[in-house]
Amino acid sequence: MKVDLSFPLRGERIPQDHGYPLYSAVAAVVEAGEPEWLHHQTDVAIHPVSGVYLSDGHLRLKRGSAVRVRCHTNDLPRFLPLSGKKLELAGCSLRLGVCHTSALQPATTVYARRVTTRNGEDETRFDAEIARQLATLDIRGKPVRGQRRVLRIKDKTIVAHGLLVTELTADESIRLQEEGLGGRRKMGCGVFVPWRG
Quickly state the pLDDT bin for 7 (edges 50, 70, 90): very high
Work out the widest C-alpha separation in the chain, in whole angstroms: 44
Distance of alpha carbon 32 from alpha carbon 180, whole angstroms: 27
**Are the beta carbons of 30 and 78 closer than 8 angstroms?**
yes
pLDDT class of 153 with cuts at 50, 70, 90: confident
- The DSSP code for 123 is H
Q: Is the pLDDT of residue 182 over 80?
A: yes
- Nearest 5°: phi and psi at 22? -70, -45
Tell whether the model's pLDDT for residue 33 goes beyond 90. no
Predicted confidence at residue 63, as pLDDT, reads 92
pLDDT at 115 over 80: yes
- Cα separation of 166 and 142, whole Å? 5
> Is 14 in a helix, a strand, or coil?
strand
pLDDT tier, 143 (very low <50, low <70, confident <90, very high otherwise): very high
pLDDT at position 51:
95
Which residue from 152, 155, 137 is spatially nearest to 184, judged by alpha carbons? 152
pLDDT averaged over the chain?
95
Residue 137: is it exposed, middle or buried by C-beta count within 10 angstroms (0-12/13-18/19+)? Answer: middle
Average pLDDT over residues 116-141: 95
pLDDT recorded at residue 41: 93
Q: Can you say whether the dihedral through the CA atoms of 154, 12, 183, 166 is positive or negative?
A: negative
Which residue, among 37, 48, 38, has the nearest Cα to 9 in the 3D structure? 48
* pLDDT per position as a tens digit, 49-74: 999 999 999 999 999 999 999 999 99
